[in-house]
Amino acid sequence: MSSEHPHLEESQRRRKDRRRRTWIGFSVMVLLIAAAMIALALNAGRWGVPMFGFTNEYGSKCRNDWLGHTCSELTVRDVERHLGVEIPEGARLESGQWRQTHDYELTARLNYPQAEAEAGWKLLEERFGGCREGLPNPLNAVPGLSAHCLMSNEGISATDGNPAPQIWRIATATAPDGSTVVDVFLRSR
């Protein structure tokens, strides 16, 4: 039969080859699209794509939005970086959030262990100044705390007469177990 219709056999062979090439090409395109989707899913957060999450270099879990990103699961190292103050070993981060758009804002509540409380408080005092009277302290509403202190630059101008580039409010108080509770609010102007 092969000798009777050689052009038919050649046509069938070409058709099979075309189907095979089409199937291979389609498979390669599907694989490339799948690889691109996987790369997007794994890296989109770090690239700043809105609504994708990422873990920053300090271990905090963050999520992009249309204007910036929010880190709701902060680490002590991340709070330390934003504050610019060394946080004592053993300090616990009870809550915290970092929000960055064209401005930034940090809110956090830490607990310094009793053994490290005084040294940690002195580092805060060196960086943010002494206690100020007459300003509302957010820790006043927490029962059982004593020795309240509020460090703040609200209403204070920088040495050149201009407002400071950031506003801070660092509230501290002593818990009944001797540990120090630190409430942090830091925002750019």
pLDDT digits 0-9 by tens, 125-165: 999 988 988 888 899 888 999 888 999 988 776 667 777 78
Kind of pairing between the strands at 61-64 and 53-55: antiparallel
> What percent of the chain lies above the pLDDT cut of 90?
55
Q: Which of the four pLDDT bands, split at 50, 70 and 90, describes residue 169?
A: very high
Distances (CA, A) of 172 to 86, 149, 179, 180: 16, 5, 10, 7
Rounded Cα distance between 125 and 188, Å, is 20
Rounded Cα distance between 153 and 126, Å, is 13
Q: Give SS3 for 138.
A: helix
Residue 104 structure tokens? 């930034």
SS3 string of 73-124?
ECCHHHHHHHHCCCCCCCCEEEEEEEEECCCEEEEEEEEECHHHHHHHHHHH
